[in-house]
């Protein structure tokens, strides 16, 4: 076994690999960009080396910089994690040429499976059914349009290289084909350096089921059961679970057999995932080969939870030349596991990524049946340069219901302030009756989007009580006393007054509504005058910031208030409400200037501009395309109007809030 491992990745996966490396007594070597200088994975590793500036192309995608770090550090092996260079055959070759062990399959296997076109041909040759489509060599627009017409609509355009939903478009009719092809090819080129695409028949309401496979250099191959990844948005996975609910034993066996046969046909070694589209779940269920990912998957923890195995340790041992630790007959599936991906994104704004510092982060680590994989801490930045994942929350139980209950509870205990997150959205999925019954497919989120994003904020009375109590307690915290009478009322900074207890007025903005709370201090309590009622509040603030309140001597609530400038983020009962503390002596703020202007919703790169000054446009028409956090974001016309001025060109960098287009209504 090699002793010194360089991890050519960042964030959550780098931290996860380091944990196994540390447990095995090996030496971990991290790499970082300037944006990650103080990142969690850098702090965890035994040593770390700078790669370059924040853009991935100049750091985590720089083969030369990574290989130089390996040379300087004396690394013997390189683990690519997932994403970045993990499925780059050229990088695998470069590692071998530099005398390093590449922790992954051979470059040949990566090349053959890295092309969706080639992998479908291999699957067909192995007798595995594939989704009908166009896998031809020609990428001429005319040939692709002709193939689309023959295949019929709806269809899917997919990037030949890469995955994760990037470079993928669903096309409903011929009129939308050209724009979809342009967008898919452009995104694929930007993400994977390869703009080639293929076409597939669009399978409506399918399930996405994948099989974890593992092989060694001796020719041993096993599968570690299946994962259901059907709950997706923008073709990216949101929740994953194992085993897949509702599949017949015959269908499970067929999927496992097909995955192993495909891997065997290319002499596969290491960890890989064979993905399938599944129609139906009973004995009559059919499946089609989708693609093979020649790396560790983001969702591998659910497999680890049900098998009790460490897949990273298996990767390292196989890479070192050892045989697989277990044969197929020795691998058992115990219980049920579900993973939820906690992202910095806003489900109510079409899942727009959110960037900035994590003012507060509390994850439910240590709970029964719960595992949390993360690469960030309180105070870290969610950068616009990389994937906005905050953590993976994984729940395990003896059965699916227990796992779901634990996941709901864990998500309710998760606290993240400073960026928008999808926490409540994930909790809504876990609680949804259709998901609870196992009735999900790849259209689940679109079908139930309104219910999943319509969650209520923390009740206003509770939010005001918690926010007011926290503010009043912070104001009455006594500073170190100077010499003098320790009992003098003149030393007090609470609401005491010479002629009796005083009153304090707090003003909070709740969205567009201004709410005034009038507080009077009593003996061990506060009387709070709200707009429509008075309540008596007493309680305490723990050392960890947790607040426990007794309201009107009859009801107890708990929560936390996180201050971020004037904002007060009230976290209570698994819900959040954002209040803004305003100076009671100033007038209410005016409406935000320029409301409705076409501005950048986040820092990004302009990848395409579809309009020019003077052009009349219709509501919903695409005007400009931004790229950030590995995804494209189309800025569309909010209503019919005329473009007065375009402020940026393709290739320009824009900051959040920058005016992109001056837009005039008709």
Question: Is the N-terminal amide bond of 127 cis, ω within 30° of 0?
Answer: no
Give the ranges where 393-482 is alpha helix by DSSP (H). 400-412, 423-431, 433-436, 444-447, 449-453, 460-476
Q: Is 357 helix (H, G, I), strand (E, B) or coil?
A: strand
Neighbouring C-alpha atoms within 13 Å toward the C-beta of 312: 23
Residue 376's nearest CA partner among 91, 368, 387, 366 is 387
Please confirm, yes or no, whether 295 is among the known catalytic residues: yes
Secondary structure letter of residue 240 according to DSSP: E
C-alpha–C-alpha distance, residues 408 and 400, integer Å: 12
> 341 with 241: CB under 8 angstroms?
no
Name every residue whose Cβ is closer than 8 Å to that of residue 555 and which is 6 or more positions away in sequence.
none
Name every residue whose Cβ is closer than 8 Å to that of residue 4 and which is 6 or more positions away in sequence.
26, 27, 29, 73, 74, 75, 76, 77
Q: Which of 295, 384, 423, 577 is catalytic?
A: 295
Residue 300's nearest CA partner among 244, 260, 259, 241 is 241
Q: Is 461 exposed, middle or buried (0-12, 13-18, 19+ CB in 10 A)?
A: middle
Q: Is 618 helix (H, G, I), strand (E, B) or coil?
A: coil
Helix (H) or strand (E) holding 647: none
For residue 357, what are its two tokens?
């510092």
Identify the residue whose tokens are 């597939």: 200
Residue 225's nearest CA partner among 239, 240, 246, 244 is 244
Residue 228's nearest CA partner among 204, 252, 250, 249 is 252
Identify the residue whose tokens are 């790169």: 605
Residue 404 dihedral angles phi and psi, to the nearest 5°: -65, -45
- Sequential DSSP letters for 568-599: EEEEETTEEEEEEEE-TTSPPPPPPTTTT-EE
Instruction: Work out the number of other CB atoms within 10 angstroms of the CB of residue 443.
Output: 14
C-alpha–C-alpha distance, residues 660 and 654, integer Å: 8
Name every residue whose Cβ is closer than 8 Å to that of residue 563 and which is 6 or more positions away in sequence.
569
C-alpha–C-alpha distance, residues 208 and 290, integer Å: 9
C-alpha–C-alpha distance, residues 24 and 20, integer Å: 6
C-alpha–C-alpha distance, residues 430 and 435, integer Å: 7
Q: Is 26 helix (H, G, I), strand (E, B) or coil?
A: coil
Residue 360's nearest CA partner among 572, 602, 561, 656 is 561
Distance of CA 251 to the CA centre of its chain: 30
Identify the residue whose tokens are 């067929």: 254
Which residue numbers are catalytic? 295
């Amino acid at each position: 076994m090699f002793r010194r491992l360089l991890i050519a990745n960042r964030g959550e996966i780098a931290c996860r690999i380091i944990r196994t490396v540390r447990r095995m007594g090996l030496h971990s070597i991290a790499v970082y960009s300037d944006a990650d200088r103080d990142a969690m994975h850098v702090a965890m590793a035994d040593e770390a080396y700078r790669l370059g500036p924040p853009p991935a192309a100049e750091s985590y995608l720089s083969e030369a910089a990574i290989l130089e770090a390996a040379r300087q550090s004396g690394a013997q092996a390189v683990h690519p994690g997932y994403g970045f260079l993990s499925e780059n055959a050229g990088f695998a070759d470069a590692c071998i040429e530099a005398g390093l062990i590449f922790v992954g399959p051979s470059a040949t296997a990566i090349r053959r499976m890295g092309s969706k076109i080639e992998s479908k041909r291999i699957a067909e040759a192995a007798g595995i059914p594939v989704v009908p489509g166009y896998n031809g060599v020609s990428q001429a627009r005319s040939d692709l349009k002709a193939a689309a017409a023959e295949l019929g609509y709806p269809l899917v355009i997919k990037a030949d290289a890469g995955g994760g939903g990037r470079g993928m478009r669903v096309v409903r009719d011929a009129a939308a084909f050209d724009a979809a092809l342009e967008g898919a090819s452009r995104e694929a080129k930007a993400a994977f350096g390869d703009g080639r695409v293929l076409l597939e028949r669009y399978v409506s309401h399918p399930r996405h089921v994948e099989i974890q496979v593992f092989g060694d250099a001796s020719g041993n191959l096993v599968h570690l059961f299946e994962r259901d990844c059907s709950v997706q948005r923008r073709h990216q996975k949101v929740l994953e679970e194992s085993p897949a609910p509702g599949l017949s034993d015959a269908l499970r066996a067929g999927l496992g057999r097909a995955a192993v046969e495909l891997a065997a046909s290319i002499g596969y070694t290491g960890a890989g995932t064979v993905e399938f589209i599944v129609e139906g779940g009973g004995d009559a269920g059919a499946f089609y080969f989708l693609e093979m990912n020649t790396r560790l998957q983001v969702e591998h923890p659910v497999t680890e939870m049900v098998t009790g195995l460490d897949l990273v340790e298996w990767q390292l041992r196989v890479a070192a030349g050892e045989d697989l630790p277990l044969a197929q007959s020795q691998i058992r599936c115990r219980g049920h596991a579900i993973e939820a991906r906690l992202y910095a994104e806003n489900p109510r704004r079409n899942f727009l990524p959110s960037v900035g510092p994590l003012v507060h982060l509390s994850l439910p680590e240590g709970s029964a049946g719960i595992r949390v994989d993360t690469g960030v801490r309180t105070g870290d930045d969610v950068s616009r340069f990389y994937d906005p994942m905050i953590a993976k929350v994984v729940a395990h139980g003896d059965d699916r219901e227990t796992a779901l209950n634990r996941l709901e509870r864990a998500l309710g205990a998760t606290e993240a302030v400073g960026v928008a997150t999808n926490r409540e959205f994930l909790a809504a999925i876990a609680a949804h009756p259709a998901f609870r019954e196992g009735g999900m497919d790849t259209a689940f989120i679109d079908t139930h989007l309104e219910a999943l994003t319509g969650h209520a904020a923390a009740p206003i009375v509770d939010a005001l009580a918690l926010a007011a109590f926290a503010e009043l307690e912070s104001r009455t915290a006594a500073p170190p006393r100077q010499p003098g009478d320790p009992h003098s009322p003149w030393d007090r900074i609470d609401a005491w007054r010479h002629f009796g207890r005083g009153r304090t007025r707090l003003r909070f903005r709740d969205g567009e509504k201004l709410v005034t709370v009038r507080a009077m201090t009593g003996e061990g309590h506060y009387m709070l005058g709200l707009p429509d009622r008075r309540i008596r509040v007493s309680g305490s603030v723990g050392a960890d910031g947790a607040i426990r309140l007794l309201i009107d001597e009859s009801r107890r609530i708990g929560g936390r208030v996180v201050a971020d400038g004037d904002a007060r983020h009230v976290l209570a009962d698994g819900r959040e409400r954002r209040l803004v503390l305003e100076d009671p002596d100033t007038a209410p703020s005016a409406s935000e200037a320029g409301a409705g202007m076409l501005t950048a919703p986040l820092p990004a790169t302009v990848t395409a501009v579809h309009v020019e000054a003077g052009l009349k446009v219709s509501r919903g028409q695409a005007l400009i395309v931004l790229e950030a956090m590995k995804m494209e974001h189309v800025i569309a016309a909010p209503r019919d109007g005329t473009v007065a001025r375009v402020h940026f060109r393709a290739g320009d960098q824009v900051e959040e809030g920058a005016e992109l287009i001056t837009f005039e209504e008709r």
